[in-house]
Amino acid sequence: MDGEKTEPTPRGAWLAVTVLAGGLFAAVVSTTVVSVALPTIGRELHAGATQLAWIVDAYVLVYASLLVAGGVIGDRRGRKGLFLIGVATFGLGALVTGLAPNTGVLLVGRVIQGLGPALLLPGSLTIIRAVFEDPEKRASAIGLWSTSSGLALAVGPALGGVIVNGLGWRWVFLVNVPFSALLAALAARLIPRVERNPATSRFDWAGAVLGTLSMAAVAFGIIEGPDWGWASPRILAAFAAGLVALALFIGWELRRPEPLVDVRLFLRPAFAVANIAAMIVFFAFVGAIVYFSAYFQNVQGHSPIEAGLDVSAIGVAFALAAPLSGRMVGRIGPFWPMFAGLAVSGAATLGLLRLGPNTGIGAIWWDFALVGGGVGLSLTPMTTTAVASVAASRAGMASAVHNALRQLGQVLGVAILGVLVYAQLPHGHGGGGRLAPEAGRHFVTGLHHAIWASGLILLAAAAMVALLAARSRKPVADAPRPSGGPAPSAPARADAPATPVGER
């Protein structure tokens, strides 16, 4: 798809990053904007809690499952061309979803829409790595790219509320159609081409199928477990299928000379910690946003726009902290921003345990801000570490693995936290509409259980980062050379210049 690499001007490089950030914005906002619309969709399409969870997870599950395959295809066929295909697919899925007459068609549209980010996102970090050789500028560029997800979190809930109140829930999806057209036009003009890495072996279809099956089966079991019963044969079979597929995937990838995912990378402490921590953050962070939005609507009776504004402090703080984190990584390395962000977000999440059925936003908005600010501080160093841990020729794979684990965390967060939130509600509750006072108290009790789970796992991730740094006595992003690659002259650092794509 792509031709020879061209060197953009400095201004052109930053414009390209802005377009790439627009793709990330579209991918993330399609989760947050929907979270506010779920109660309205539940009322109009008569959808229960399980169906509403699938509206979120059908999109994110496809997105997460195919990111790695999209990264490898981009490495081999060209990143810019795949970005454009991803944008077009995203727009098509949004059109199908917005016109859906029932939940079945809506879910089909969400699956199509989820294919878009799986194609357009993996190459984004690879392009940034290729066009920014200076470590400080590259870290700032990644910070700008990451900030777009914070902006999506900041404006998504409020935007969703405005759209639902003014135009109806369908336009939550349909607004992505013209946005995708604009993004494609800008990408065709502004994104530079980088030299692809020609494949020396066939694409790993078996690995792609096994990896997708493992994630899909586990997510299916978690989401459907409350309705079908955790001990039902179908749920147990789903979990068993997921675990077997995961074991087969790992075994298969270890035997391949050019695997879809080089699972040996997870033997590197820096790579493993950065990816596991990112999965934990998205488990606790994005999953929680969905249920805080539901709390303000279903328990306190707020309108969609009011609920969006209630949770907007999370995204605003994230958007402010992410670029600051990028500059910090460029100057002092990734350890302290990563650790501090995880610790702050975990502690602030636990502070939300004082939330009750009638707690006003004035009493908790600063907790939301600390949660969002902490996450914004931690994500850029995680991303920088993960991408810098591999040779440039495999950067697409590494960024795809990192993004896939982030989205897998989101899938598991929405599913598992949803089980905790709705566990004490009578069957059939949790869709649309305000809950009766007694049911509202049960909802808050379940929300407290989800808050405990989210806060403790964030603090555990902070402890994991601290233990790694204390054990190694060097910056957390230090990484040994990729297997089979040439030995570097000095230990690879997340803030060290990467080999430009096409120069290996």
* Residue scoring higher pLDDT (157 or 338): 338
pLDDT at residue 188 is higher than 90: no
Best CA proximity match to 180, nearest among 119, 107, 105, 108: 119
12-30 confidence digits (pLDDT tens):
788 888 888 888 888 888 8
Band the pLDDT of 60: cuts 50, 70, 90. Answer: confident
**What's the confidence (pLDDT) of residue 489?**
35
Number of Cβ within 10 Å of residue 463's Cβ equals: 14
Give a yes or no: residue 350 inside a domain. Answer: yes
Give a yes or no: residue 69 inside a domain. Answer: yes
Q: HSE on the CB side for 198, CA within 13 Å?
A: 4
Give a yes or no: residue 202 inside a domain. Answer: no
115-136 confidence digits (pLDDT tens):
998 888 877 777 887 777 777 7
Band the pLDDT of 34: cuts 50, 70, 90. Answer: confident
**Contact (Cβ atoms closer than 8 angstroms) between residue 413 and residue 94:** no
Which tokens is 281 given?
A: 């953050």
Q: What is the CATH number of the domain that holds 297?
A: 1.20.1250.20
pLDDT at residue 470 is higher than 50: yes
* Residue scoring higher pLDDT (249 or 288): 249
97-112 confidence digits (pLDDT tens):
999 988 889 999 999 9
Give a yes or no: residue 300 inside a domain. Answer: yes
**What's the confidence (pLDDT) of residue 160?**
83
Percent of the chain with pLDDT over 70: 83
Which H, E and C letters describe 102-156, residue by residue? CHHHHHHHHHHHHHHHHHHCHHHHHHHHHHCCCHHHHHHHHHHHHHHHHHHHHHH
**What's the confidence (pLDDT) of residue 490?**
35
Give a yes or no: residue 224 inside a domain. Answer: no
**What's the confidence (pLDDT) of residue 480?**
41
Percent of the chain with pLDDT over 90: 18
DSSP bridge pairs for 479: 492
DSSP bridge pairs for 492: 479
**What's the confidence (pLDDT) of residue 236?**
92
Counted domains in the chain: 1
Give a yes or no: residue 309 inside a domain. Answer: yes
**What's the confidence (pLDDT) of residue 181?**
93
* Residue scoring higher pLDDT (224 or 462): 462
Give a yes or no: residue 211 inside a domain. Answer: no
pLDDT at residue 243 is higher than 80: yes
* Residue scoring higher pLDDT (496 or 412): 412
> Residue 427 is part of which domain span?
10-191+258-472
- Per-residue pLDDT averaged across 260-286, rounded? 85
Give a yes or no: residue 233 inside a domain. Answer: no
Band the pLDDT of 170: cuts 50, 70, 90. Answer: very high
CA angle 52, 57, 60 (to 5 degrees): 145
**What's the confidence (pLDDT) of residue 485?**
39
**What's the confidence (pLDDT) of residue 486?**
37
pLDDT at residue 282 is higher than 60: yes
pLDDT at residue 197 is higher than 50: yes
The whole-chain average pLDDT of the chain stands at 78
418-445 confidence digits (pLDDT tens):
888 887 776 555 555 677 788 888 888 8
**What's the confidence (pLDDT) of residue 488?**
37
Q: Which of 30-39, 73-82, 253-262, 337-346 has the lowest mean pLDDT?
A: 73-82
